[in-house]
Amino acid sequence: MLLAIPDLLSGAEAADIRAALEAADWVDGGVTAGAQSGGVKHNRQLPEGSALARALGERVLDALARSPLFLSAALPLKTFPPLFNRYGPGESFGLHVDNAIRAVPGTPVRLRTDLSATLFLSEPDSYEGGELLIEDSYGAQAVKLPAGHMILYPAKSLHRVETVTSGTRLASFFWLQSMVRDDGERALLFDLDQSIQALAASQGLQHPEVVRLTGVYHNLVRRFADS
Ligand code: NI
């Protein structure tokens, strides 16, 4: 399931992070790439674990924790500290798949990457190219969202970032391990949860069938989830 999370950050929050990134020191993006993806990755990143990456990453994590849509779709168990990248003219990231297991540097934590996320920080009209192309069962989907919006997609997907031909594309990206490993089961839970929310809005939270369906949702989570 590909899902856009609109307005994870407000335009002002995204602009504030962008201003901090514009003054930052960047390193070659190859530092977090594997052997295959390293050969096709041509961009720059904030040094992992730098004070700025940690501070900005905390702001992204706070925004995720405040987003009911993200929590419903991802059912997050462990989230990798957000990374930040920058593509200038001529830079791109060729077709690759993200590593299945990621160790969080400086900690004993490892996570299985069930979901990948890209939070767009530059306004789409400020750069040319730079679309995120994600292959799914319906073909390649081109994603280029307003600043502050995020795309969530299965980490098993092949994907690439088109060459930026002018301007600068700033983004945050990270991975997470979901409590529900299987993408199909997670998508079913998401659909059910969204439908219950809509029913509750029209019928009231205490409507007997809303209560019953809420029970079904939680009992399916018990069946599918690891925590
Ligand atoms: Ni990737």
**Closest by Cα among 174, 111, 131, 183 to 154:** 183
CA of 38 to the centre of ligand 1 (A): 10
If you measure from the C-alpha of residue 98 to the centroid of ligand 1, how many angstroms do you get, rounded to a whole number? Answer: 5
Q: Are residues 131 and 201 in the same domain?
A: no
18 and 121 belong to one structural domain: yes
Whether 205 and 174 map to the same domain: the answer is no
Write the CATH number for 200.
4.10.860
Average confidence score pLDDT of the chain: 95
Do 151 and 96 lie in one domain? The reply is yes
Domain residues for the domain of 149 are 3-178
Q: The domain spanning residue 126 has which CATH number?
A: 2.60.120.620
Task: Locate 182 and state its tokens.
Answer: 């299987």
Looking at the fold, whether 125 and 216 belong to one and the same domain comes out as no
93 in the same domain as 63: yes
Residues 32, 97 share a domain: yes
14 and 100 co-located in one domain:
yes
38-84 residue pLDDT tens: 889 899 999 988 999 999 999 999 999 999 999 999 999 999 999 99
Cα(135) to ligand 1 centroid in Å equals 12
Q: Determine the pLDDT at residue 39.
A: 83
Query: How many folded domains does the chain comprise?
Result: 2
CA of 87 to the centre of ligand 1 (A): 14
- CA 95 to ligand 1 center in whole angstroms: 8
> Does the pLDDT value for residue 142 go beyond 90?
yes
Question: Tokens at residue 177, please?
Answer: 């391990």
Q: Print burial letters for 106-134: b (CB count within 10 Å at least 16), e (below 16).
A: eeeeebebbbbbbbbbbbbeebebbbbbb
Residue 121 has pLDDT above 90, yes or no: yes
- φ, ψ for residue 153 (rounded to 5)? -145, 160
In a shared domain, residues 33 and 52: yes
